[in-house]
Amino acid sequence: MDTDFRTLLQDQLKLSRRLKARIRELEEQRGAPLAVVGTALRLPGGLTTPEAYWDFLLGDGDALSGIPEDRPGLRAVYDERPDRPGRSYVDRAGFLADVAGFDAPFFGLSQREATALDPQQRLLLETAWEAMERAGVAVRRQDRLKAGVFVGIMSSEYVERMAAPEDKTGIDPYYGTGGGHAMAAGRISYVMGFTGPAVSVDTACSSSLVALHLAAQSLRRGECRYAVVGGANLVLSPDLMVSLCQSKALAPDGRCKTFTADADGYGRGEGVGAVVLMRLDEAEREGRPVLAVLRGTAVNHDGASSGLTVPNGPAQQEVLRAALADAGVAAEEVGYVEAHGTGTSLGDPIEVGALDAVLGTGADGRPEPLLVGSVKSRLGHLEAASGLAGLIKVVLMLRHGRIPAALGSADGELNPLIPWDRVRVAVERQSRDWPAAYPRQVAGLSAFGMSGTNAHVVLEAYRPATEQTERTDRTGQTGQAGQAERVGQVGEAGRTELVTLSAKHAESLAALVHQAAGRLAGAGAEQLASLCHTLRAGRTPFEHRIAVTGRTGAELAARLLTGLERGGAGDRSVGTPVPRLRVVPGSPELAAAVDALAAAHPELVPDGGQPEERLRELLKQLGVRTRPAPAGPGATAHPAELDWEGGTFPLADADPDRAPALLATALAELYTAGADLRLDALRPAGARVVGDLPTYPFRRRRLWIEERTPAAGAAPEPVAEVATGRGQERAAVVEFLHAGLREILHAQEALNDRETFLELGGDSFIAMQLTLRIEEAYRIEVPLEEFLEDVPLATLFERLADHVLAAGQAVAAGGARSA
């Protein structure tokens, strides 16, 4: 009996331990730290890279400008007198340099659809792509990445140009998809093949930080592996500008004078940004560039207050405390807060009071006053995108360990409505290093929406592995400290490196080659492996390709430029090679070469087994599909070689130490020939993704609907006449189809016969338009299903031509029988 009781107690004790471990695991998952691994932006002042943004933040002046020429509506309503009904007294804001340009073919859109597409969606596509590249995540649509998209957006003014009050002829099927808020997130997921949540958020000025909050929750729940968080805001219509001026919300000079005595309203600004998040432990294992750590987020609402658009101090305190609790951070550890700080006489004092109550005098043990600032005083208030502009600023600050000046000497006195002598909150007028009084570099970021929805996030500087003690995660894999050991192995002298570059157009490839060559030429041995790994594994392979090998950065750069000059860039449309693998079984040279490959790539070559099988497994891991080939002493000139129409390339020779270099050369040739390789498997021990390498050089073309004066009862343009002879030869019919589709797509260049209808931007609407033309010209019916098959355009048009000619012959035969 005692034995049974003892066994029962032991079993219960084991169960209790398992349950406690599971509870601990769930708690850790709920509050798991997240990593910011990629950023991208389009901000006023021509700022298009994080590096340029940081230089701007450390400089002087603002990025405001007059109303651009292509915004005639904004210019027309301007009147400097502040009391004119229906007018705006503001003629300056933070405008983007170019919102009309877009690389429609890159994203698989026709020029017709892209022209109707809200430029906010276009810029979100660009920045989402760039952020993923900076994170080193190759976006292969067919891979269906488990990535979520969370976008803050509050206006869609561009599509108004398609629908004048008394003329609706400009509205087509792209009116709904071009401007709908839901499409801002959904289109990114569709174009890039993401399968996680796709959510567009509109809480006015807090939209993008609320989107960040939702992304953090989704990552921690395991709904996605990567999260793209975006924010967008453009000032295209005069209507909201007039409304804000009528309520006197805007500063007459168009500038946010945050925390100053001159605060008299906010200045508007445009901007688009995107960041990529993932769980910190996964980012470390994958060698991603951890730019900052997201510790906690919180969202709430003002509730019952003195007005819907009036800020609520107690609610702001509550959201601050909730974010600190989610982050597991003490109030006195926060050294800086990027404030909402719109520069209004009402909002600024309320916000500083809330910050002081929680993080200033309300934080026992604070070593020195809390520093605050707001980039709105430099860029303008980017409304729905303001949270992203502030987020990327804080990420840069934490990464560099430096706090830019919040105000300049010319910005005047601080706001006298704020009791600066009684609060532990300070505004820096000079850039400075992060205060040494704080053991951790922790920052907060606030956004308060006009809707009453508030958001706050807490971030911390990422401490590299060398600064942390070794730890092991729950799976038993070594974490940051283990990575530090591997990093020391990067940069082996004399190792042959492989660099691959590609683009959808020869022009873009040339630009990319020059940018990458400039970076590689100055790279030292300790950086080279990581640079090459990032370019190989962190970029999506496209049609136009170039690949070279070399032992130094300068050698790789020179070979890239030489290859480009000699026309050595390949086009995968010539066909994907499937090489033959020829080996000499039992060859001691083969065995020695495979051992050398195993030493260079231990994770790719299995231990034990026959050398030829180990070699096949290596190639399989790299995505190299091979065909069987005759074996034996007379079948190959080398112990092992790959051969296809592009030539014969040895994988082994008399010197086994050359095997890794021979493999790199063969892979370069295969890549250039169009092989679908998985070169992320070549990541050498210690190599990490480099986040500041050149991103894709888009071929931006102006796609723009001009503002127009409504025209009542405007009739649609007549359909152009076409030749209708049923006896035309196939070539004439194909020519007719080419011309018709090109016109419908509004394509400026000839259509590429090797691309599919969908790749050219075709969809059900475009297919319907073309079938109507065919039916009108040839008096026959064409099934829409023909357009949905995944075949090259040339094949599709040949089938349609055959259908047209066959139908014409049938009609002719029927007419002859009737006669």
pLDDT tens-digit readout, 633-653: 556 789 999 999 888 999 999
**586-625 core/surface letters (b: 16 or more CB in 10 A; e: else):** ebebbbbbbebbbebbeebbeeeeebbebbbebbebbbbe
Tokens representing 659?
A: 């095997």
Helix axes 588-600, 611-621, angle to 10 degrees: 40
Three-state SS at 413: coil
Query: Using 50, 70 and 90 to split pLDDT, how confident is the model at 567?
Result: confident
Instruction: Please write the tens of the pLDDT for every residue from 263-295.
Output: 999 999 999 999 999 999 999 999 999 999 999
Tokens representing 674?
A: 């169009």
Tokens representing 504?
A: 């959808």
Calpha distance 615→626 (Å, rounded): 11
Mean pLDDT of 111-131: 97
How crowded is residue 302: how many other Cβ atoms within 10 Å of its Cβ?
24
Residue 581 has pLDDT above 60, yes or no: yes
Calpha distance 101→94 (Å, rounded): 18
Reference 337, options 211, 458, 432; nearest CA is 458
CB-based contact 289:260 (threshold 8 Å): no
| Residues in a beta bridge with 457 | 297, 445
Instruction: Please write the tens of the pLDDT for every residue from 333-361.
Output: 999 999 999 999 889 999 999 999 999 99
CB-based contact 234:157 (threshold 8 Å): yes
Reference 102, options 182, 181, 190, 42; nearest CA is 42
Query: Using 50, 70 and 90 to split pLDDT, how confident is the model at 802?
Result: confident
Give the active site residue among 181, 213, 381, 803: 381
Phi first, then psi: give them for residue 459, nearest 5 degrees. Answer: -125, 160
Provide the pLDDT for residue 561: 97
Provide the pLDDT for residue 786: 76
Q: Is 301 a residue of the active site?
A: no
CB-based contact 265:343 (threshold 8 Å): yes
Mean pLDDT (the chain) is 88
> How far is it between the farthest Cα atoms of the chain?
109
Mean pLDDT of 85-91: 95
Q: What is the pTM of this model?
A: 0.88
Give the active site residue among 181, 205, 213, 601: 205
Query: Using 50, 70 and 90 to split pLDDT, how confident is the model at 815?
Result: low
Helix or strand run (H / E) with residue 133: helix 119-134
Strand segments (E) across 653-774: 701-702
Provide the pLDDT for residue 770: 86
Provide the pLDDT for residue 486: 34
Residue owning tokens 């127009």 = 708
Calpha distance 266→231 (Å, rounded): 19
Tokens representing 29?
A: 């998952």
Give the active site residue among 181, 340, 505, 803: 340
Sequence-separated (6 or more) residues with CB below 8 Å from residue 8: none
Provide the pLDDT for residue 445: 98
Calpha distance 327→642 (Å, rounded): 54
Provide the pLDDT for residue 399: 97
Helix axes 764-778, 730-745, angle to 10 degrees: 140
Residue 171 has pLDDT above 90, yes or no: no
Calpha distance 507→504 (Å, rounded): 9
Return the C-alpha torsion angle 601, 603, 605, 607, nearest 10: 120
Using CA of residue 308, residue 313, residue 319, residue 322, what is the dihedral sign?
Answer: negative
Q: Is 245 a residue of the active site?
A: no
Cα dist from 609 to 183, 599, 615, 616, 669, whole Å: 53, 16, 10, 11, 28
Calpha distance 111→8 (Å, rounded): 73
Instruction: Please write the tens of the pLDDT for every residue from 10-26.
Output: 777 777 777 666 555 55
Three-state SS at 419: coil
Residue 712 has pLDDT above 70, yes or no: no
Calpha distance 171→116 (Å, rounded): 9
Provide the pLDDT for residue 23: 58
Residue 776 has pLDDT above 90, yes or no: no
Return the C-alpha torsion angle 618, 619, 623, 625, nearest 10: -140
Q: Is 340 a residue of the active site?
A: yes
Q: Bigger pLDDT: 180 or 517?
A: 517
Instruction: Please write the tens of the pLDDT for every residue from 388-434.
Output: 999 999 999 999 999 999 998 889 999 999 999 999 999 999 999 99
Residue 811 has pLDDT above 90, yes or no: no
Provide the pLDDT for residue 782: 80
| ∠ Cα 191 197 198 (to 5°) | 50
**How many CA atoms, within 13 angstroms, populate the side-chain half-sphere of residue 7?**
4
Calpha distance 569→560 (Å, rounded): 9
Sequence-separated (6 or more) residues with CB below 8 Å from residue 233: 120, 153, 154, 155, 269, 270, 271, 272, 382, 383, 384, 385, 386
Measured in residues, the chain has a length of 819
Reference 131, options 293, 10, 280, 276; nearest CA is 276
Q: Bigger pLDDT: 520 or 733?
A: 520
Query: Using 50, 70 and 90 to split pLDDT, how confident is the model at 517?
Result: very high
| ∠ Cα 517 523 529 (to 5°) | 95
Calpha distance 585→347 (Å, rounded): 79
Q: Bigger pLDDT: 206 or 584?
A: 206
Calpha distance 384→394 (Å, rounded): 17
Q: How far is CA 526 from the centre of its chain?
A: 28
